[in-house]
Chain A
Amino acid sequence: MTSVDNIIAEFRADRSRLMDIVMAVQHRLGHVSDASIQSLAKGLGMHPVEVDDMVSFYSFFDRAPRGRFRIRLSKTPISLIKGAQAVAAAFEHDLGLTMGGTTPDGEFTLEWTSDIGMADQEPSALVNGVVLTALAPADVPHIIAALRQSGHEGGLPPYPPHRGQGAALPRARVRPGLVKAGPLLSDLPEPGTAIMSALAVTPDAVIEQITMSRLRGRGGAGFPTGMKWRLTRKSPGKQHYVVCNADEGEPGTFKDRVLLSEFPDLVFDGMTVAAYALGSSEGLVYLRGEYAYLWEHLQGILDARRKAGWLGKAVGNRAGFDFDIRIQLGAGAYMCGEESSLLESLEGKRGAPRDRPPFPTEHGYKGQPTAIDNVETFVCAARIIEKGAPWFAAQGTRLSTGTKLMSVAGDCTYPGVYEVPYGITVNALLDLVGGSDAEFVQISGPSGQCVAPKDFGRQIAFEDLSTGGSTMVFGRERDVLAIALQFAEFFVDESCGWCAPCRIGTTQLKLAMEKVVAGRATRADLVGMEALSHTVMRMSRCGLGQMAPNPILSSMRSFPEHYEARLRGEVFVPAMTMDGALREAVTVQGRESMMETS
């Protein structure tokens, strides 16, 4: 048997586990070769083209060999502010590479990646799943030396990484991120407390408590959790599933990282409460591939909970209540944070969204009723069941009860996670984090809003500035248009490609924004870019495309004067430049062309 066959056997040739199977192939063999695709197809009863359809979708799977050590530097507006470019240059210099390249000895590949959830400690990088933070150019030679010395016995280091792997690596450390705890994360109960409170009442009464608390989804969409649980419970199915969305991919957010590393028992308590309310025996955590470094830690917590009787057969000694949790690692796709794409990925497919209806509450994981909630939502649910709905609803505003975890980073003195009551103004939040002289704040990541000082009196709440928690603070020296362009590039990288308006529209918007930033756009270009933005929003299949034009539209609204200042007066300026069009010829000829002046 080949290694691929062994891996398939390990997962009992279960097609729905294709994510794990391909991940194992990638890490045992270094990449997923044509031969591996053939073996996978044969072993799983699929067509090679179907396997490739899935494998080629994810950033962390390679169809061609790359370096044994994959150094992925996080490229975000925050990391660039904090000096990622200088760190990249140091790596390029020391490895003799340009970004995207591999050393001739096949040891190192150096590349950029989207936000890895470390906005509070940028510049950061992933090295085969190990996270390095707060990097400086001076660290680079030591990192490369340590990597060169480590593990030359062939093959790739195991994945997900274990704690020992990072031990020898300089900067392989993620700082705890919680700066300010509120009622949600204070006076913590013993593990299992919420489960015992839930078991003391009926499943319907649990859902009633959640409904009364008026808890809304913390991922940003704000769907009432009680209603979601009720709909899922009453949908008929062979199995009901509880899914925790830990694919925290929105650039600038990292509060789920903090919850999973510092408060995992609250997360699992919440999932178990949901399982009891829904009549579910199987829970899944979809953990983004960038957080693979948490794998060992979380498995340890799950094992401890099994030993303590909080998972497994007869949870909390309740005969008949069996529930366990499996963690599914993602593989580098922002798209999978969207709940229907997440389900597709969980089932071992490419992360393309589903059309709705039907909704996951009726037709979710493996076609069965499924409640998908954000990590923070489960934490809220656990505390509500422990302390009661009135305790929770006393915080926040009428339409947004409770507190919110805000991930704050950028040009501020104290980046980190802040638990604040809903209704807090942007101004008050900026005072807390030491960012009062901000030029603008990006609320809820690229898919959210660019907020100018004139709007700093607005509130963080579902009824005003709705957010999943990402808060990027930008000071006076930052260029709002350049940052809007970086966000536009992010959506080009992360569009899944399924539907035409998002696939092509994100690229067209990036090109249009490049023209603006280069100072070559006319007024007609601005009008065209705005119209195109609206078309992409109206026609796209899922939230990614519907929100992809937000950075452009909201910066146009907040800072029209910045756009005005870069406009050209002509009626028409072509998209191409003469110099750009001749560049290839100039390179081939090895001499610059001369412009004739009359």
Chain B
Amino acid sequence: MGAKAISMTVDGVAIVARSGQSVIDACDAAGIYIPRLCHHPELTPAGNCRVCTCTINGRQSAACVTPAANGMVIENDTPHLTADRRTLIEMLFVEGVHPCPYCVASGDCELQALGYRLGMTAPTESYLWPRRKLDATHPDVTLDHDRCILCSRCIRASRMEDGKTVFGFEGRGIAMRLNIDAQGGLGETQMAAIDKAASVCPVACIVIKRDSYRVPNGARRFDKAPIGSDIEARRPGAKP
């Protein structure tokens, strides 16, 4: 018994989804890019960043946590949604400390790449200048809390993929922070540089030591093509 195909439209384009797929997964497969930050194709969605919010059947819903359903009418690439997403990216920039010009992740950073893709120039919101710690206790991994955008990717990866639960949240509201499963720093946890949790960070919060400049600035993923290009290349009839 095959699962019944689901048909829906995204900005007027008809696409087909499989039962059990989320809206974002169905769109990814169809070559339609919905901007996102906390979603990762290999992890259970958590809905932290809300960047993938679309207008689905007239309501605002995050595409990563909305199951695809037959007849769905989805608006994704609209000036309104782009403006809201750009504001969200700006908020994340001012919440932490993100000095792109000298950040190790520049060119490989999804936050930076979304800023470019969504047309952010300079943040208009107030910088919050948080006081957060740098954790360099681990021999192979640096944890720079200033860069953290609380996307929970590492929390999910460590729990589900690595089976270690090295990370969690702490506190609430604007004081919420990434927390680790040891009092003495990351070096006291089971964390290893080969863990899934070490490779899913979208920014430069979790950085593998002595590895950062293997690919030089200017030759990195998003230096070559805007974020989402890989997904859009899957679209039938897309130019190679």
Q: Is A181 on the interface with B (CB-CB < 8 A)? A: no
Q: Are B92 and A500 neighbours in the complex by a CB distance under 8 Å?
A: yes
CA distance A575 to B183 in the complex (A): 38
Query: How many residue pairs between the two chains, A and B, have CB atoms under 8 Å in the bound complex?
Result: 119
Q: Is A355 on the interface with B (CB-CB < 8 A)? A: yes
CA distance A541 to B30 in the complex (A): 26
In the complex, what residues of A have CB within 8 A of residue B179's CB? 49, 52-53, 56
In the complex, what residues of B have CB within 8 A of residue A492's CB? 173-174
A24-70 interface (Cβ within 8 A of B): 34, 47-50, 52-53, 56-57
A554-577 interface (Cβ within 8 A of B): 575
Q: Is B185 on the interface with A (CB-CB < 8 A)? A: no
Contact A56 to B126, CB < 8 A, known contacts A500-B50, A532-B87, A541-B62: no
Q: Is B113 on the interface with A (CB-CB < 8 A)? A: no
Contact A539 to B172, CB < 8 A, known contacts A511-B126, A532-B125, A575-B126: no
CA distance A541 to B65 in the complex (A): 11
Q: Is A499 on the interface with B (CB-CB < 8 A)? A: yes
In the complex, what residues of A have CB within 8 A of residue B168's CB? 47, 49-50, 52-53
CB distance from A56 to the nearest CB of B (A): 5
Q: Are A497 and B150 neighbours in the complex by a CB distance under 8 Å?
A: yes
B41-100 interface (Cβ within 8 A of A): 47-51, 53, 60, 62, 65-67, 83-84, 87-88, 91-92, 94-95
Q: Are A503 and B50 neighbours in the complex by a CB distance under 8 Å?
A: no
CB distance from B56 to the nearest CB of A (A): 12
Q: Are B165 and A50 neighbours in the complex by a CB distance under 8 Å?
A: yes
Contact residue range for chain A?
35 or more
Q: Are B49 and A499 neighbours in the complex by a CB distance under 8 Å?
A: yes
Q: Which residue of B lies closest to A511 (CB)?
A: B126
CB distance from B83 to the nearest CB of A (A): 8
Interface string of B7-41 (1 = CB under 8 A from A): 00000000000000000000000000000000000
CB distance from A55 to the nearest CB of B (A): 9
In the complex, what residues of A have CB within 8 A of residue B60's CB? 538-539
Q: Is B169 on the interface with A (CB-CB < 8 A)? A: yes
In the complex, what residues of B have CB within 8 A of residue A540's CB? 50
Q: Are A501 and B88 neighbours in the complex by a CB distance under 8 Å?
A: yes
Q: Are B84 and A539 neighbours in the complex by a CB distance under 8 Å?
A: yes
Q: Are A538 and B172 neighbours in the complex by a CB distance under 8 Å?
A: no
Which of B172, B179, B181 has the most A CB atoms < 10 Å from its CB? B172
Contact A538 to B84, CB < 8 A, known contacts A355-B65, A503-B176: yes
CB distance from B205 to the nearest CB of A (A): 15
Q: Are A506 and B173 neighbours in the complex by a CB distance under 8 Å?
A: yes
Q: Are A538 and B53 neighbours in the complex by a CB distance under 8 Å?
A: yes
CA distance A504 to B172 in the complex (A): 12
Q: Which residue of B lies closest to A496 (CB)?
A: B172
CB distance from B143 to the nearest CB of A (A): 13
Q: Is A79 on the interface with B (CB-CB < 8 A)? A: no
Interface string of A345-358 (1 = CB under 8 A from B): 00000100001010
Q: Is B3 on the interface with A (CB-CB < 8 A)? A: no
Choose from B124, B165, B169, B183 the contact partner of A528 (Cβ within 8 Å).
B124
In the complex, what residues of A have CB within 8 A of residue B126's CB? 508, 511, 575
A339-372 interface (Cβ within 8 A of B): 350, 355, 357
Contact A504 to B174, CB < 8 A, known contacts A53-B169, A532-B87: yes
CB distance from A398 to the nearest CB of B (A): 25
Q: Are A57 and B171 neighbours in the complex by a CB distance under 8 Å?
A: yes
Q: Is B208 on the interface with A (CB-CB < 8 A)? A: no
Interface string of A472-511 (1 = CB under 8 A from B): 0000000000000000000011111111110111111001
Q: Are A47 and B181 neighbours in the complex by a CB distance under 8 Å?
A: yes
Count of chain B residues with a beta carbon within 8 Å of a chain A beta carbon: 42
Q: Are B173 and A500 neighbours in the complex by a CB distance under 8 Å?
A: no
Choose from A333, A350, A508 the contact partner of B125 (Cβ within 8 Å).
A508
Q: Which residue of A lies closest to B149 (CB)?
A: A500
Q: Is B170 on the interface with A (CB-CB < 8 A)? A: yes
Q: Is B238 on the interface with A (CB-CB < 8 A)? A: no
CA distance A313 to B92 in the complex (A): 54
Choose from A357, A494, A506, A535 the contact partner of B88 (Cβ within 8 Å).
A535
Q: Are A56 and B171 neighbours in the complex by a CB distance under 8 Å?
A: yes
Q: Are B171 and A506 neighbours in the complex by a CB distance under 8 Å?
A: no
In the complex, what residues of A have CB within 8 A of residue B65's CB? 355
CA distance A402 to B125 in the complex (A): 46
CB distance from B69 to the nearest CB of A (A): 9
Q: Are A500 and B125 neighbours in the complex by a CB distance under 8 Å?
A: no
CA distance A560 to B150 in the complex (A): 37
In the complex, what residues of A have CB within 8 A of residue B48's CB? 498-500
Q: Which residue of B lies closest to A358 (CB)?
A: B67
B161-214 interface (Cβ within 8 A of A): 165-176, 179-183
In the complex, what residues of A have CB within 8 A of residue B5's CB? none
Q: Are A355 and B62 neighbours in the complex by a CB distance under 8 Å?
A: yes
Q: Is B215 on the interface with A (CB-CB < 8 A)? A: no
Q: Are A506 and B91 neighbours in the complex by a CB distance under 8 Å?
A: no
Choose from B47, B49, B91, B95 the contact partner of A355 (Cβ within 8 Å).
B47
Q: Are B172 and A57 neighbours in the complex by a CB distance under 8 Å?
A: yes
In the complex, what residues of A have CB within 8 A of residue B173's CB? 492-497, 503, 506
Q: Are A497 and B50 neighbours in the complex by a CB distance under 8 Å?
A: no
Q: Is B225 on the interface with A (CB-CB < 8 A)? A: no
Q: Which residue of A lies closest to B91 (CB)?
A: A504
Choose from B84, B87, B166 the contact partner of A49 (Cβ within 8 Å).
B166
Q: Are A503 and B150 neighbours in the complex by a CB distance under 8 Å?
A: yes
Q: Is B160 on the interface with A (CB-CB < 8 A)? A: no
B121-170 interface (Cβ within 8 A of A): 124-126, 128, 149-150, 165-170
CA distance A540 to B49 in the complex (A): 9
In the complex, what residues of A have CB within 8 A of residue B172's CB? 56-57, 333, 335, 350, 495-497
CB distance from B121 to the nearest CB of A (A): 15
CB distance from A111 to the nearest CB of B (A): 15
Contact A541 to B49, CB < 8 A, known contacts A350-B172, A501-B91: no
Q: Which residue of A lies closest to B171 (CB)?
A: A56
In the complex, what residues of A have CB within 8 A of residue B124's CB? 528
CB distance from A342 to the nearest CB of B (A): 15
Q: Are B165 and A499 neighbours in the complex by a CB distance under 8 Å?
A: no
Q: Are B50 and A34 neighbours in the complex by a CB distance under 8 Å?
A: no
Q: Which residue of A lies closest to B47 (CB)?
A: A355
Pairs across A and B, CB under 8 Å, 18 listed: A50-B168, A53-B168, A53-B179, A56-B169, A56-B172, A57-B171, A335-B172, A493-B173, A497-B169, A497-B172, A500-B150, A501-B91, A503-B173, A506-B174, A531-B87, A532-B87, A535-B87, A538-B84
| Additional 5 contacts, C-beta under 8 A, given A504-B91, A538-B60 | A34-B183, A49-B168, A333-B172, A492-B173, A493-B173
The 6 closest A-B CB pairs, nearest first, are A497-B176, A49-B168, A49-B181, A504-B91, A355-B65, A53-B168
- Seen from chain B, the residues whose Cβ lies within 8 Å of a Cβ on chain A are 47-51, 53, 60, 62, 65-67, 83-84, 87-88, 91-92, 94-95, 124-126, 128, 149-150, 165-176, 179-183
